[in-house]
Structure 1
Amino acid sequence: MIERGFNMKKIFMFIFLILIFTMSFSIKSVIYYTASASNVSIIGDFSDEPIQMEKTNTGLWKKTFELEEGEYKYLFLVDGKEILDYKNTNTVYSNGKLYSLLIIKEEKTYYPSIGDGKVGFIKHEKERKYINPVKPGDIYLSIEVQKKDIEDVYFVGNAKIVKKEKLTFDKTELYRFHVKTPANVLRYKFIIKDGENSIEYPNLDYFEFDFNKPIIKYFDVPDWTKGRIYYQIFPERFRNGDKTNDPAYTYEWYGNYTSSSLGSNGFYGGDLKGIIESIEYLKNLGIEAIYLNPIFESVSSHKYDTKDYLRIDSHFGDDKTFIQMVKDLKKNNIKIILDGVFNHTGDEFFAMQDIFRNQKRSKYLDWYFIKKFPVTKSADSYESWWGYADLPKLNLENPEVKAYITTVLGKWMEYGIDGWRLDAVDQVKNSFWENFFYPIVKGINENAVISGEYWKDSTQYFEKPAFDTVMNYLFRDAALGYAKGGSAYNFVKNTNAYLEKYPPQIIHTLWNLLDSHDTPRAITELNDDIDKFKIAVGIQMTFIGAPVIYYGDEIGLTGERDPWCRKPFPWDEEFWNMDIYNYYKSLIKLRKEHEALRYGEYEVIKTKLGALIYRRYTENDEVIIISNSRKIPVKANIELNGDYIDYFTGEKIKTIEKISGLTFRILIRQ
């Protein structure tokens, strides 16, 4: 009995070991056949005989295998005919026949550890994230590894390192090198240091980048755009300089506003002559560029329903007025950006009117996306922007449409404008912006700026590229969220999300706005709390990027969402908040005087609750910004390395001991 029990134990142990062996070294794999068939089997290395596949309820043919690591040749036997698995790109030629190849490899868990001499993965691929050429001889090169897996990365090549930085993400770290070289062909590799090991990547050879034949397009941005101070003007509501061109009925400039009077069919008489008369005001404020909402012929006050892209709206002026405005702006070193609305036209545009008249006989049918006949002013008849029948969507792949847009760009750029802000860019295929619009504009004037209106992460628009910059609503969300009493940590996290993702050559060009014609006024968003508004403005004027001021913000103009954010600018100073106006002037002056704020580096020193301390710096200049979005004071106890003066009070500062509630301070290094 004892011997038998012992033998039974050995048998059970043997069976257990077999099970363990099977579980440890077998990997489950599933093969599918998706086409219709009466009978499907698999032939190959799995068995000497065909293996029948099972037909599922969905009509797919399926077979599950338990296989050890290795490579397995196979073919489908479909109704008696041998065929490849065309969904499997791995093939092998054997004994005069082509087979599909199933590769089984156990995925082993890797645990990153600094100093163990092992590297989990290395990424350096043909994407702008890793290979980012700015211009001949100037390029950013990056390598990505797992987080907390290595000690450091070094760059080796026939180039000079301008800057090295490490960016840390949720699961990875990116080492980015800004390098410059006089060589036509850059040869380089990365040395990964981990413990006693130094791993060369690539191992035996070097990567090469030929500046004469770049594998990724050059992407440089005009220098003048970096850190420049913009001012957005909604022309119909800015200033009435010529009453003779007013619409038949205009509302009282300082009258009782209603949603109807401020809406798309309400007019107040603002025009280009009014902008010309305001140049001295803009100059005194410190503005360096203006962006105008649409100015081309249209029946509405907002002008986004364009009737003729080649004509200035008659209520704004004419070509002569426009040319004079550009000339006077240039004389005062103020750039001018026009709004380009190319996703859609107005329903009064000549091509749409021809379709209404001639229906199926119209030669402009392919300019739009017609759904049915007869074509009437209805979203049922043609595709339109968000279903608005007065905004029919253009077919931007039509060569005739492209030719017309080229004519439009040529005319206004010949008059000397400095760039375009593009409306609703996400409603248009990226290829239009990348392959048509961007090359056309840069071919006319490589120093023209192109800014896209997109409210989310805009990384996709910088890959090819499509634009030099975007209206940075991500900054707006972060800044207003912080000024409302949000945490400093969240502000840093939300702004870092794009600062660390966008190509580094464009971050100083980003249009950092607090509001626009499409949003509530920032001060209204902050419940008319001037202290909070000053914090938001202070961040805007000292942060990395190019601040964009929406007309009237600088005098405390209020307003809810469209149309209330489009009230006429009150030129009577009795209506101005002079405290806010002087605050703006002071910060603009500071920004223009300090290269650190204009295009310097950005570094966060401290975040705690609502307290935020960061610095902007260059080799010769440094500014420290101290802010607290909450009423609760925060202890800091930071010893400053040098002598600083408080910009607003003139007080000498050597230590930041405490950050008072709802405060914004600026320290200038002496």
Structure 2
Amino acid sequence: MIHNASIEKYRTPVGAVEKGEEVILRLFGLPEKTSHVEIVFYAEDFHREYKMKQKKDLFEQTICMPEKCCVVWYYFRIWEGDHNYYYGARPGQSQGEGIVVSENPFSFQITVYENGFDTPRWMPKGIMYQIFPDRFCQGNQKNLKRGEEYHKNMGRTVYIHEDWEERPLFGPLPGHEFYDPCDYFGGDLEGIISKLDDLKKLGVTCIYLNPIGEAASNHRYNTSDYKKVDPFLGTNEDFERLCKLAKERGMRVILDGVYSHTGDDSVYFNKKGNYPEKGAWQGPQSPYYDWYTFDQDGNYDSWWGFQSLPEVNEMNLKFINFIINGRDSVIKHWISLGAFGFRLDVADELPDEFIFEMRKELKAQEKDYALIGEVWEDVTTKESYGVKRKYALGNGMDSTMNYPFKVHVVNYLLGSQNAYAMQEFLLGQQCNYPKPFYYAVMNLLSSHDIPRIRTTFASGMNETLPSREKQIEYVITSEMDKRGGRLSRLAMAMQFFVPGIPSIYYGDEYGMHGFMDPFNRGTFYENNKEIYEELLFLTGIRKRERALQTGYALYFAVNENILAMVRFIVGKKDVFGEKAENKAFLMLINPTNQKETIKFDLKTREEGIPHEVHQKLMDYLSATEIEAQIEAFDYQIVKLK
């Protein structure tokens, strides 16, 4: 008995579908004594059962998907007279081949998304570079002096590093009880401008900046003024010039949008009285009072209990107008200066309706503006605050930070999961994510919120990390660093071969080290030039080859160790039906310490792509049998035709 939700023989079409679309489900190989079969089909607000039709050696049923965006689930109930049992997904999976169980079956997933949903085509064709502004490059030392003076006049604690190579502050300053991210190195917008030609050489087409608005910290997630560049970084005019010069070099600039909370020391809350206008702390007479929630004793809701981060009511009409819809709203303000979109901080803590409204306004301005969300889990099945999120189904975000990709790549390369598990993950995202979303997803290996990838591999640690105190004392030996570089090379190869927009965290192109915040936010330095040369090769082939941008993707495990990925265009059209040159590339990954000799036939591999496309690929290739030898800790890219 078999149903494989990732192969068109069993489910037509495979993958996510638009609302109202018909899907044919088939179950093969049932025992002769089977009397009838039912599909149990359900979603958040409905539960239906369909009797399947028998056709020779299979049972089949066509189901029309709901006329609304949602995630639906299904499994099969098989009857033999009065006795029944089930066929469902394997534990931990929602695609691929299922199993027979006597009770409590797991379900297969179908993602139903908005008709006509699309994402900016420059995203799958591009390469992103993420910058933590204070730590990237100092372009004008006057900004450091100006920022220090401005913030000290506000009564804020400021610590200026004298040496660019010092370690970031990681504990309380002398005389202070708690750690405060108040240390600055002087990286600024002028510094980023000075590096634009270097970024262009690296192949970068999109720069994502961590927050640049005025704030009382170096990370700036505690916003003080949504419309003003922090004095440490420069001026609004500097930002406008950055966007203009980046555009001349074929690069777009994306900003970090922090809209679930503000700082308490801000124009809007003004708890410390630093601003002339009355903030919410001053009472109901403030124009911003309704943004926040106070009780009768004057206590207020705050983000995760941090009193320095008063939480906003995102659906307050005044707040929505200020951030999104107003004539000079925050998003329109930055777009007018050259920003090309936003990454939404803690997107799963923003109401879907807020994100929908932002998308609507952004796309009304320019359909190619990007809206990216910070979500750490599967974006189609994410549930937060008791609500199943729908921001990835066509009315919300274009893309998300693909943290699950990083987790699985690291587990695979460190040996804690095999190539079959890696294949299942890649195939799951490919089938569960709406195609336009999947090809725009932000594939990262490091960020400002997780350890740098070279440190992750050098230490052998992924999600479980020592305390900050132990991270301070942790020593990475030369041998560990060698392992970190070797495995980082494989991870980057995978990152640049799968669909989506690969994202380089500043300094990773030179193998920078760093555990968790604040160590992952160190100042830029060139640690290892071999990694840079490797990355130049990967960015080069990614930029040249359309097949690696918007081509079809085929994933499979050759054996327990070796993962294979094929990217291709056939029929002179890519996945979006746009004209493109026929080409096919194969990547093989060997994360073990032994050379591997492999042999397989591509004819037997058809998961996750339409049958007709697989057949066209077989017809296009002059040979489908692959033989190769892969060295230990190595990858190969083979042009199939």
Tell me the TM-score normalized by structure 2: 0.69
Unaligned runs of 5+ in 2: 1-47, 80-93, 99-105, 149-158, 174-178, 271-277, 381-389, 459-480, 571-581, 604-623
Structure-2 change in CA distance of 1:172 and 1:456 (3 Å): closer
Structure-2 change in CA distance of 1:325 and 1:427 (3 Å): same
Shift of 1:494: 1.6
- Kindly provide the CA deviation profile for residues 282-301 of structure 1, in whole angstroms up to 9, marking residues without a partner as x: 01111111100000111110
Q: RCO higher in 1 or 2 (8 Å CA, sep ≥ 6)?
A: 2
Shift of 1:479: 1.2
- Kindly provide the CA deviation profile for residues 196-232 of structure 1, in whole angstroms up to 9, marking residues without a partner as x: xxxxxxxxxxxxxxxxxxx955311111112410000
Take 1:556 and 1:399, find their aligned partners in 2: how far apart are those partners? 46
Aligned pair partner of 1:499 in 430, 433, 436: 430
1:359 is the counterpart of 2:283: yes
Equivalent in the alignment of 2:515: 560
Give the letter for the 2:501 counterpart.
A
Give the letter for the 1:522 counterpart.
I
Shift of 1:618: 0.7
Take 1:217 and 1:600, find their aligned partners in 2: how far apart are those partners? 22
Equivalent in the alignment of 1:297: 214
Shift of 1:507: 1.2
Matches within 5 A, 1:532-547: 532-547=487-502
Equivalent in the alignment of 1:279: 196
Shift of 1:362: 4.0
Secondary structure of 2:261's match?
Answer: coil
Give the letter for the 2:165 counterpart.
Y
Shift of 1:396: 1.4
- Kindly provide the CA deviation profile for residues 509-543 of structure 1, in whole angstroms up to 9, marking residues without a partner as x: 00000110000001111113222111111100111
Shift of 1:596: 1.1
Take 1:267 and 1:518, find their aligned partners in 2: how far apart are those partners? 18
Structure-2 change in CA distance of 1:147 and 1:483 (3 Å): farther
Structure-2 change in CA distance of 1:360 and 1:125 (3 Å): closer
Structure-2 change in CA distance of 1:455 and 1:119 (3 Å): same
1:408 is the counterpart of 2:324: no
Equivalent in the alignment of 2:448: 517
Structure-2 change in CA distance of 1:639 and 1:356 (3 Å): closer
Q: Is the 8 A contact 1:124 1:143 kept in 2?
A: no
Equivalent in the alignment of 1:475: 405
1:125 is the counterpart of 2:125: no
Q: Is the 8 A contact 1:372 1:382 kept in 2?
A: no
Structure-2 change in CA distance of 1:276 and 1:665 (3 Å): same
Shift of 1:278: 0.4
Equivalent in the alignment of 1:628: 590
Take 2:49 and 2:210, find their aligned partners in 1: how far apart are those partners? 57
Equivalent in the alignment of 1:225: 123
Larger mean Cα displacement after TM superposition, 507-516 or 456-465: 456-465
1:371 is the counterpart of 2:333: no
Identity of aligned residues (%): 29
- Kindly provide the CA deviation profile for residues 538-559 of structure 1, in whole angstroms up to 9, marking residues without a partner as x: 1001112110000000001000
Equivalent in the alignment of 2:544: 593
- The count of residues paired between Structure 1 and Structure 2 equals 479
- Kindly provide the CA deviation profile for residues 314-338 of structure 1, in whole angstroms up to 9, marking residues without a partner as x: 1111121111111100000011101
Equivalent in the alignment of 1:237: 135
Secondary structure of 2:238's match?
Answer: helix
Q: Which has the higher strand share?
A: 1
Matches within 5 A, 1:57-206: 115-116=56-57, 118-119=59-60, 122-128=63-69, 168=96, 170=98
Aligned pair partner of 1:427 in 331, 335, 349: 349
Shift of 1:265: 0.9
Equivalent in the alignment of 2:32: none
Give the letter for the 1:391 counterpart.
L
Structure-2 change in CA distance of 1:129 and 1:167 (3 Å): farther
Take 2:521 and 2:136, find their aligned partners in 1: how far apart are those partners? 9
- Consecutive aligned runs of 4 or more in structure 1 exceeding 6 Å deviation: 107-114, 142-145, 171-177
Take 1:109 and 1:348, find their aligned partners in 2: how far apart are those partners? 58
Aligned pair partner of 1:254 in 157, 165, 175: 165
Take 2:594 and 2:447, find their aligned partners in 1: how far apart are those partners? 31
Structure-2 change in CA distance of 1:307 and 1:588 (3 Å): same
Structure-2 change in CA distance of 1:639 and 1:125 (3 Å): closer
- Kindly provide the CA deviation profile for residues 407-449 of structure 1, in whole angstroms up to 9, marking residues without a partner as x: 1111111122211100001112111111x21111111121101
Shift of 1:356: 6.2
Secondary structure of 1:616's match?
Answer: strand
Q: Is the 8 A contact 1:637 1:658 kept in 2?
A: no
Give the letter for the 2:166 counterpart.
G
Shift of 1:147: 10
Give the letter for the 2:392 counterpart.
F
Unaligned runs of 5+ in 1: 1-106, 131-141, 150-165, 178-214, 376-380, 642-652
Aligned pair partner of 1:395 in 309, 313, 316: 313
Shift of 1:125: 2.5
Aligned pair partner of 2:418 in 487, 495, 502: 487
Secondary structure of 1:565's match?
Answer: helix
Take 2:110 and 2:134, find their aligned partners in 1: how far apart are those partners? 49
Q: Is the 8 A contact 2:511 2:527 kept in 1?
A: yes
Give the letter for the 2:343 counterpart.
R
Equivalent in the alignment of 2:374: 453
Structure-2 change in CA distance of 1:114 and 1:545 (3 Å): farther
Equivalent in the alignment of 2:475: none
Give the letter for the 1:337 counterpart.
I
Give the letter for the 2:244 counterpart.
K
Q: Is the 8 A contact 2:510 2:528 kept in 1?
A: yes
Equivalent in the alignment of 1:580: 531
Aligned pair partner of 1:440 in 328, 344, 361: 361
Equivalent in the alignment of 2:574: none
Tell me the TM-score normalized by structure 1: 0.66
Equivalent in the alignment of 1:638: 600
Secondary structure of 1:461's match?
Answer: coil
Take 1:636 and 1:221, find their aligned partners in 2: how far apart are those partners? 38
Aligned pair partner of 1:618 in 565, 569, 578: 569
Larger mean Cα displacement after TM superposition, 322-331 or 601-610: 601-610
Take 1:111 and 1:172, find their aligned partners in 2: how far apart are those partners? 17
Secondary structure of 2:406's match?
Answer: helix
Give the letter for the 1:581 counterpart.
Y
Structure-2 change in CA distance of 1:126 and 1:632 (3 Å): farther
1:608 is the counterpart of 2:532: no
Q: Is the 8 A contact 2:280 2:288 kept in 1?
A: no
Structure-2 change in CA distance of 1:313 and 1:654 (3 Å): same
1:336 is the counterpart of 2:257: no
Take 2:108 and 2:230, find their aligned partners in 1: how far apart are those partners? 52
Q: Is the 8 A contact 2:423 2:557 kept in 1?
A: no
Q: Is the 8 A contact 2:52 2:60 kept in 1?
A: no
- Kindly provide the CA deviation profile for residues 93-120 of structure 1, in whole angstroms up to 9, marking residues without a partner as x: xxxxxxxxxxxxxx99989976257546
Aligned-residue RMSD, C-alpha: 3.2
Q: Is the 8 A contact 2:452 2:520 kept in 1?
A: yes
Q: Is the 8 A contact 1:556 1:580 kept in 2?
A: yes
Structure-2 change in CA distance of 1:633 and 1:301 (3 Å): same
Q: Is the 8 A contact 1:263 1:563 kept in 2?
A: no
Take 2:107 and 2:296, find their aligned partners in 1: how far apart are those partners? 52
Q: Is the 8 A contact 2:214 2:226 kept in 1?
A: yes
Equivalent in the alignment of 1:37: none
Q: Is the 8 A contact 1:129 1:503 kept in 2?
A: no
Q: Which has the larger radius of gyration?
A: 1
